A and B are shown apart, each in its own frame.
Chain A
Amino acid sequence: MIATHASGRWQGRFDAMPPLAWLALHAAALWPHWRWAAARLMDGSDDPLGIAALVVLLFVVVKLEPQLRAAPKPGWLLLSLAATGGAALALFGAPALVGALLAALALAAGLRSFMPSGQAVLPMAGLAVLSLPVVSSLQFYAGFPLRVVTAQLSTWLLQAIGLAAERSGTAMVVQGRLVIVDAPCSGVQMVWMAYFCACAVAAFSGLRDRQLLARLPWVGVLVMAGNVLRNSVLVALEAQQEQVAEAVHQGVGLVVLALVCAAVAAVIRGGRDARA
């Protein structure tokens, strides 16, 4: 098609824009949500873990760039548009996090519309969601249930190995000593880490969406088990000694985190290369 009018030439230039440029424009259009995310990052209410997820996401997208095709698929594009509309509407009343989530999903859908068919988008969507400041909100909504469940399972575990333990609320009384499972102990950070690990490994392994979806519940189970293990070990130590050193807390936590992430990576990879 040869354009004979100035507007037509401009249209041609629009059509010839690379997909990443479209995505960048789309992202720029969603700037209020990034402004909120940046503000949350700076005010110290959250650890800046999202930046790591963002970096990995950008790396994946850049790696994917040669495969992106110029004509996007309308279905995914419509979904992206709907999510963008939802994100814009959310600015007027819904919590900021909901708007940011819709914006992240809109971008993921937009990316999917440019990708060749059969490619997995779930890891990218997951990384986009994880790059938002979600940990505090997760702590707020899911923190208490996680703590109660962790405390209960820890109590059963300690009872099974012979220590006198009982749970009251989110605190545990082990051999007469009160130890509380408070907000920093709830395992929400480990949840974030585990899902980040799962999405990153899935993105680089080229795992299919359906396979990833089938394996995600295992990630949840592994995280729960890991947090219960970490909590039980630390509570048992706290109950025996007067003061457990900070280094011990960190060390045990990191070891359990490494174990959980290794297990998650193994599960996600599935032991074979799933690239088509």
Chain B
Amino acid sequence: MRGFRYLATLAWRESRFARRRLFLFLSSISLGVAALVATQSFAASMAAGVRDQARVLMGADLAMSSTRAFGPRARALLDSLGRAGNAVSRTTSFASMATLPRTGATRLAQVRAVEGGWPFYGAIETEPAGRWGELRRGRVLLADPALLVALGARVGDSVRIGEAAFRVAGTLRKVPGETGISTSFAPRVYIPAAALPATGLLGTGSRVEYEAHLRLADPAAAATVDRGYQQRLRPERVAVRTAEGQQRRLSDALGRLGRYLGLIGTFALLLGGIGVASAMGAYMAEKRDSIATLRCLGATAPQVLAIYLLQAAAMGVVGSLLGAGLGLAVQWVLPRLLEDFLPVDVAIRASPAAVLTGVGVGVWVATVFALLPLLAVRRISPLETLRRRVATEPEPAAPDAWGWGARALLAASVVLLVVLQAGEWRMGLQFAGGIAATLLGLGLAAWAAVHGVRRLRAGGLPYPVRQGISNLYRPGNQTRTVVLALGFGVFLLAVLYLVQDNLLRPLRVGSAESRASLVFFDVQEDQEAGVRRALEGGGIRVLQRAPIVPMRVAAINGVPVSRIAPPDDGEGAEEGGGDGGRGGPEGWAVRREYRSTYRDSVVGSEKLVEGRFWRAGEARRPGEPAPVSLEKGIAEDLRVGVGDRVTWDVQGVQVPTRVTSLREVDWARLEPNFFAVFPADALAGAPQTWVVMASAPDAAARARAQRDVVRAYPNVASVDLTEVQAALDDVLGRISLVIRFLAGFSIATGFVVLLGAVSVSRLQRIRESVLLRTLGATRGQIGSILLTEYALLGLLAGVVGTGLAVVGGWALGRFVFEMDSFAVPAGGLLGLMLGMALLATVTGWWGSREAFRRTPLEALRDE
């Protein structure tokens, strides 16, 4: 123990004069620790928020929902629950146009007709306050502020929904359990359920959701009701949800979010670790003399290793503590970035567990990454005290158990860290693999870039430039590490930018005549011609029209759906849930409602990949089932192929068909695309609505077209696709903002690594500049050398980062997002590269300012 104390004392003493630099090295992990602590503490706050607000999320203890009106069993259940003293509240939700008669402005909205005491828990905040109660008292509505803005309406105005007029009583400030983002696409409107008949809406073909919310006299009974009635209500396609189930799902989702964000922080930490390893190596090189002396005086190799490992660990503690502090401060920013995505209020609290974990991980990373370069001290021979370098005896290349052990420890630590952060083995291993591949790629690219520069025959260039270039590979240079660290930051930013750009590109709805900018749906059969005439009369081009027939799958190859559909978990009979299990068709694919169409040809957004499409008016033998063309993906989910038989239930009528072709559909094109396409005669007379796509030359024309159609046909809903695009832009933009914010930690780490590298070569740099100035170089020339060196560093990092980002972005686009084409916005990437070069230059310059300040004499005297 005494021996250890002395080693610790020696470690402390030995770090004198170098503490500021050591600290700089290890602060490269501070930012990573900060990101980790911020995300984990925030995740803990989110989890606490969900727990505290569980009941408020649903506003009830139990909820039942269905896309059809409640059947006899559901109604009976609700009646009996109501009679037993439980409060029942009903909501009917559907999409419809809201119009301001004053100006004719119209906008698609999510209309919710409410009756009863919902929300039973929590409250809906309105502006002016307390207006929720007015829904019970008259023909009023409450709407999202966005709707009033879109219509140019004010509180007190009259707004029409369908055929009924409502007075705007106020705007919605907060609806518990809902995220702000969801209103980007269609703002919410609450009306009293009593006014629903007056609107004249809810005709055939409209998509309506019927909900019942319950406050149970005994809230604990929710689980019993849930279990008892799941099965019984499934045939009526009623889903039952409990507040607890909701909380669990939300916790899971938010937990995943927290972990993904934490992974970004982990990247930064690993990057910092690389910086530590490189800086430690350079630091050890400086300490060579002292180490040789210590060895000569009788220090064993383990003792020497312990001294410097203690230094690394101590600085790791300091760096991590600072990072933890920064992280706790930063987590205050996260809610602001994420508030539109979160359905709960998050009260920020410092999570001790997050701090401890963050610091622990930070110290571990610092120590493990410092270990490999530290092990090199074992090779420092005491003979070096007698002469600078021991001659000719080559370094033993024999497999060194310690070295391999350290590498294995490092690799295992990285994998473990990533897996723990990801929260599950498979995902963690995939991420670890991804990180390894990225770093390997960056490392190779950095090596190649530096190698390439070395080979640069720069003979014709002025001396300062040539000197700047050769400085990049001076002995003990950290060029590769800096290029890797900075390059990683560029890589992250560039990949984000590329993916975002390519995701949005196909959705760009321009004013080009060939692209639709308006969609009208819920057009009844007898209204279709009139809508077309109204549009064309207003100078609007109708591009496409398609009939929509709602239907469900009744049987596959003669086997009824009730026998095929595997048991699901009950929650969400209408939504996803339940898997294909046992090789059978996916449950959701079999149970869902299909909105199909009929036509006699393939359209532009699809491609026939198998089978044969029918010709118009093709005759069929009597009794032969009609052909149907399925989309490739849904056919896979239904486990059917060309030749299989599918029987459809079209509003009660059984329609047998045989799959005769498969199509590949380009879903990214905002056009009516269908899973199932029938020939015209197969669906003759089936109840249907129409969708009409039109192109308008400008915003005014679009607004006019919508106004005219909705005035004449109040049940028709319309969407301005340019607004959809704007909303998508907005959502994607906000998601990428969050990611960019956290990626910022990686980028900042890169700069810390750069500063560390500059600081390491400080002495060399001063000596060189002194020498040069003694030989007659001006400060301007010294400056040019520095400028060249750092600008080149930054450019290399930029090239490496963007080059790899193009590859990575393409891979992500192709394999994860399944994009067909990938474009590279050269201008943006070039800007990124140049920006990096500039920043690196400024950073490096600032770090090297000493080389300028001193006169040659001053510097020599100090040596």
A and B bound? no
Binding site for B on A (CB under 8 A): none
Binding site for A on B (CB under 8 A): none
